[in-house]
Homo-oligomer: A and B are copies of this chain.
Amino acid sequence: MTEVNGYEQSDREQHIDVLNLESLEPEAEKIIPTGGFGYISGGSEDDWTLAANREAFTHKQIYPRVLSDMDNPDLSTTVFGVNVKTPIMMSPLAAQGLANSQGEKDTARAFAAEGAFMGQSTYSSTSIADTAAAGNGGPQFFQLYMSKDWDFNEALLDEAKKAGVKGIILTADATVDGYREDDIVNDFQFPIPMANLIQFSEASGQGKGIKEIYAAAAQRISPDDVKRIADYSGLPVIVKGIQDPNDADLAIGAGAAGIYVSNHGGRQLNGGPASFDVLPAIAEAVNGRVPVIFDSGVRRGSDVFKALASGADLVAMGRPFVYALALGGAMGVQDALQEINEEFKTVMQLAGTKTIEDVKHAQLADFRY
């Protein structure tokens, strides 16, 4: 443990037992300080959407398929022109220094080692350059919380471009922060500064709550912003937080190169539907024009399968990998990613799907439980 501004920060670097990704949460809760754990694990209001995100995966089921004359499923896929070894990706979760002193660098190391996409957050504990360097050439996205200050935005985009990211994820569902009761109960302020804020703005984020951090972000985002970011950066822009087919159309019309279906892990608009439930209609609206990334509630190999079969091209997870980060650093994250890859591979085999393309064409059942 390292104490930073009174916060007991894990500095573990070790292999961990990963029975499954859900089993990591109670273990991580033991070593991440209450405020940090509440920030990572909590949703907004009474966590109804957070819970619905998990429940929704039971609304569809995977048909076991036999006599399919295949073995050794291939998890690799090409998205945004990048060939990755798995469709599983790291969500651009903020402030990973809350979990480990190596922060996003360790997450980047693990995802790069497994040939998987990694998303960096604007509010990362480590800088764009450092995280990219740790990723050692692995494919990364940079997630932008658009600031009111365009100089800041441009500085971040410049830096991200310099770091070689494959695209910009523009988070559009957080023009204000969701009502996060855990943070209120815990009176949580970030004990650890945010590297990009230190470097490119006058603030550091430290000692502030997420509400104050977001207050500096743009509270009004329009299609023009998508275009402006794409034009400035020359990079593909992926709009994150889409939950409505109309918004997918709006984003693509504004030049979005990708649609990121997410409800921010149940942390923003509580009372919204489960992210998995809205995915099919959005995928239908997108209709292959651009790739679709999905997150919110994914924990199992079967969830990954269901999301891909419902229209996703990449399936992201955040919290479980941050728990693994706390428990074991880069080694822990890699262990967790291997485990979920293995679960997913088993599901692929038992569903008779040899390739990711096969998974995308699998028909799901929709019995009601």
Contacts and interface: CB of A to CB of B under 8 A. Distances in A.
B269 A350 contact: yes
A239 B55 contact: no
Interface string A65-100: 111111110000000000000000000000000000
Given A19-B181, A184-B19, A343-B179, A64 B173 contact: yes
Given A220-B71, A243-B63, A244-B65, A271 B302 contact: yes
Interface string A160-181: 0000000000001101111101
Q: Give the contact-size bracket for chain A.
A: 35 or more
Say how many copies of this protein the assembly contains: 4
A83 to B, nearest CB: 25
B181 A20 contact: yes
Contact of A239 (B20, B67, B263): B67
Interface stretch (A33-41, A45-53, A201-209, A319-327): A45-53
Given A22-B46, A69-B221, 5 more contacts: A49-B61, A64-B263, A69-B220, A176-B350, A219-B349
Interface of A: 19-20, 22, 45-46, 48-49, 52, 55-59, 61-72, 172-173, 175-179, 181, 184-185, 219-226, 239, 241-244, 246-247, 250-251, 254, 263, 268-274, 277-278, 300-303, 305-306, 342-343, 346-347, 349-351, 365, 367-369
